[in-house]
Amino acid sequence: MQHQPLPIDKVKLVIFDWDNTLAETRTPLTFAVNQILKDYGMPDWEEVKKLRDTNLSFRDNFPRIFGSKAEEAYKKYAEVYLQNVKNLISSFKGTQEVLNWLKAHGIKIAIMTNKDRRLLEYELPLLFEPKLFDRIVCGHEAPRDKPYPDHAQYTIHGLLPEEVVSPETVWVVGDSPQDSMCACGAGVLPIRVGHPIWGDEEKYAKNIIHYNSFEDFYADLSKK
């Protein structure tokens, strides 16, 4: 896919989304939430997810789905998720190579996710060495989560001086409009990995560098 050149010689920090970017977590999420929906006599996730506000995290959509029982339902979901994620989570080809390349070139890497820390810290070592990452920021730790720029700004703070932050020095790698809206709002470079899901109305789409896979992303990086 044709796109603007990556500013490889200037990048200092790359921030990665977790769910369905570094980790394929759609499978364990669907497995767990369907069990909870069944407990409450509700349709499966394919139907219920139509109720979501796409500007909110999965967790923050529970009140829209479960109403007054949202907190109870989320606790049940988290337990089922933790009991089963080890056998259901996976990563994507090329992901480890990208992380290794960045670290080998002295580039800081971070995780920025709307997921709650308890779940993230359990599943992260199933796929990657946690010490690879210079910072991990989870849901409800910044003033506002993605898609708001606060999440990226909070993640960057302390890793780079504010005056050097730009689309050349900081990249945000994700799989969804939430990730790229956050990046654009924070004045850094959005990189999208995976099948495009942008609609015609997405005003940020023109600013995104897109790769079909982490293997393609790595191929571009390793040209240096």
26 three-class SS: helix
What per-residue confidence (pLDDT) applies to 55?
84
Would you place residue 54 in the very low, low, confident or very high pLDDT band (cuts 50, 70, 90)?
confident
Lowest mean pLDDT, pick from 76-90, 116-130, 183-197: 183-197
Prediction pTM value: 0.94
CATH class as words, domain 13-24+90-221: alpha beta
**In Å, what is the CA distance from 107 to each residue of 93, 128, 180, 192, 218?**
21, 17, 20, 19, 14
What per-residue confidence (pLDDT) applies to 108?
98
What per-residue confidence (pLDDT) applies to 200?
46
DSSP bridge pairs for 90:
24
pLDDT at 34 over 60: yes
Would you place residue 202 in the very low, low, confident or very high pLDDT band (cuts 50, 70, 90)?
low
What 3 state SS string does 51-102 have? HCCCCCCCHHHHHHHHHHHHHHHHHHHHHHHHHHHHHHCECCCCHHHHHHHH
Q: Domain ranges in the chain?
A: 13-24+90-221, 26-88
